Structure 1
Amino acid sequence: MAPRIRYGPRTDTEIKAAREAAARLPDIWSTGVTALWETDPDAVAAVLPPPLAPPARPLVRASVSTVALRGYPLGAGSVAVAARHEGRAGWYPLVMPMTHERALTGGREVFGEPKKLGEVVLEREGAALRARLSRHGIDFLAVHGTVSGPLPLPPESERLDFYFKFLPGVDGTGFDGDPVLVHCTRTERVRRLEEVTGEVMLRESAYDPVADLPVLRPAGITLGERATTQHGRVVARVAAEDLLPYIHQRYDDAHQILDGPPEGSTR
């Protein structure tokens, strides 16, 4: 029998089996710390590309989690600002560090998530808790605190995240096709939740400038175990000239794409 060429095409049977296996994924539980704080409303407004709008309350949400992927443990982080779109409240993530490339592919290519390789650390010794997000050797976000007691378990809930999905143009200008705005709905179940007394520290980083969203009023820190499912849908096409000034949010090198819209672009 000839050896299998693994880069060759899969058969219809193999494709069907892969889809069925993906549909039967077991619950994947993560352990994570979530910190909320109020920041400068002008800073929140500045980071939101149209058609996203600023919220009534300028909140930032940071999470640092370890995910129990079988045989492939994952560190996953996120820093997001509250936002609104067409009357719906949600979150706009600015950076989502992941510890493995495997976690980047689906999120970036399917949903348009701003995932980047980074270091995600969550440590607990007794009641002491330390968490951090790092890239390029810089701990740009850290949470230090003490687990101070259990909290009532919330009911199953939904959270809406906003993403922009796009492909930079092959000629180095603009996009290949129209960018789209994605609504990603996450359904979350919690099986353990604890209150944390502590603080959030932001450190200057040219690559991940979350320090521009200062902690003006803390709004709570929790530690919990969660299982989440998600589904997304495209809700709008986005004009190139509206999104291009914000492309540097996605890349470490702000010069990877032209900052202005391509000549002849139209809404």
Structure 2
Amino acid sequence: MARVRYGARTGAEIAASREKSSNLPDIWSTGVVAVWETDPDVVAAVLPPPLKPAERPLVRANISKVDLPGYPLGAGSVAVAARHGGVEGWYPLVMPMTHERALTGGREVFGEPKKLGEVTVEREGLVVRASLARHGIAFVEVRGAVDRELPVPEPARKTDFYFKFLPAVDGSGFEDDPVLVHCTRNEKVRKLEHLTGDVVLRESMFDPVADLSVRRLVELTIGEKTSDQQGRAVERVSAQALLPYLHQRYDDPQQAFDGPPEGGA
């Protein structure tokens, strides 16, 4: 019988897959990073407990082209500065990706809020344009020009906060108490340039980052970076406390509260 690809994998095949994934070479990306100050009350409003606002009400947009072997990937995120206990980090609200393959691991393993979208990074000489778009709306756009090269920073360790959960089968709450995940990345930079430009936030009912208005632009750069990624489940969190934020994960807020079809259809 020919191999049935949906059939069970052998132990040797599973072990080989794990070994291959644990020995990946550095994967470099070219990306634009914009950081700005926004309204402190808005940052506080989007953070589910037990996360707390960081000292400064910062928002960070990452917009990158990733040099994955075999096909390029567009990857982005919009996150707010947050802390959990003594750990400072970022809480992403949306993470557009251009390929389904990039969604599954992050969403199912770490709880990342990844969604299919359009990610653009374009450079012509010194002029740079980068954007995040979904449903035909470029809800974040960065426009600028390179005005100087910056010193390459030392390798840095950064943390993102995610909530890993599954909505309940009966449409009421969660299947189990959600898990707060600390995802740490060791980031290396090989080139970094400063941009003079601006950040445009456009209204979108699906990705309402326009609420995180730009009060003061803090950082605008384009660079070449690589990083690894490790996640750690740090604690179970209150399902009741997280439920009011469930709509952050879905385009249609009602789908998270829908019960199963009547009659099992």
Asked if these proteins are the same fold (TM beyond 0.5), I'd say yes
CA distance in 2 between counterparts of 1:112 and 1:135 reads: 20
Q: Which amino acid in 1 is paired with 2:91?
A: Y
1:61 equivalent in alignment to 2:60: yes
Contact 1:244 1:258 in 2 (8 A): no
Contact 2:250 2:256 in 1 (8 A): no
Q: Residue in 1 aligned with 2:144? A: 145
Post-superposition offset of 1:257: 2.3
Contact 1:67 1:75 in 2 (8 A): yes
Aligned residue runs from structure 1 range 1-267, under 5 A? 2-258=1-257
Contact 2:129 2:142 in 1 (8 A): yes
CA distance in 2 between counterparts of 1:205 and 1:22 reads: 36
CA distance in 2 between counterparts of 1:26 and 1:87 reads: 32
CA distance in 1 between counterparts of 2:127 and 2:164 reads: 39
Identity of aligned residues (%): 68
CA distance in 1 between counterparts of 2:103 and 2:200 reads: 26
Post-superposition offset of 1:167: 0.3
Deviation readout 1:105-128 (Å, 9 max, x if unpaired)? 000000000000000000000000
CA distance in 2 between counterparts of 1:24 and 1:217 reads: 41
Matched length: 258
User: Which ranges in structure 1 are unaligned for 5 or more consecutive residues?
Assistant: 260-267
CA distance in 2 between counterparts of 1:157 and 1:56 reads: 20
Q: Which amino acid in 1 is paired with 2:121?
A: L
Contact 1:190 1:226 in 2 (8 A): yes
Q: Which amino acid in 2 is paired with 1:51?
A: P
CA distance in 2 between counterparts of 1:240 and 1:256 reads: 17
Contact 1:36 1:220 in 2 (8 A): yes
SS of structure 1 residue aligned to 2:246:
helix
Post-superposition offset of 1:258: 3.3
CA distance in 1 between counterparts of 2:55 and 2:20 reads: 42
The TM-score with structure 1 as length reference comes to 0.96
SS of structure 2 residue aligned to 1:33:
strand
Deviation readout 1:27-73 (Å, 9 max, x if unpaired)? 10000000000000000000000000011100000010000001121
Deviation readout 1:125-179 (Å, 9 max, x if unpaired)? 0000000000000010000000111100000101110000000001111111110
The TM-score with structure 2 as length reference comes to 0.96
Post-superposition offset of 1:194: 0.4
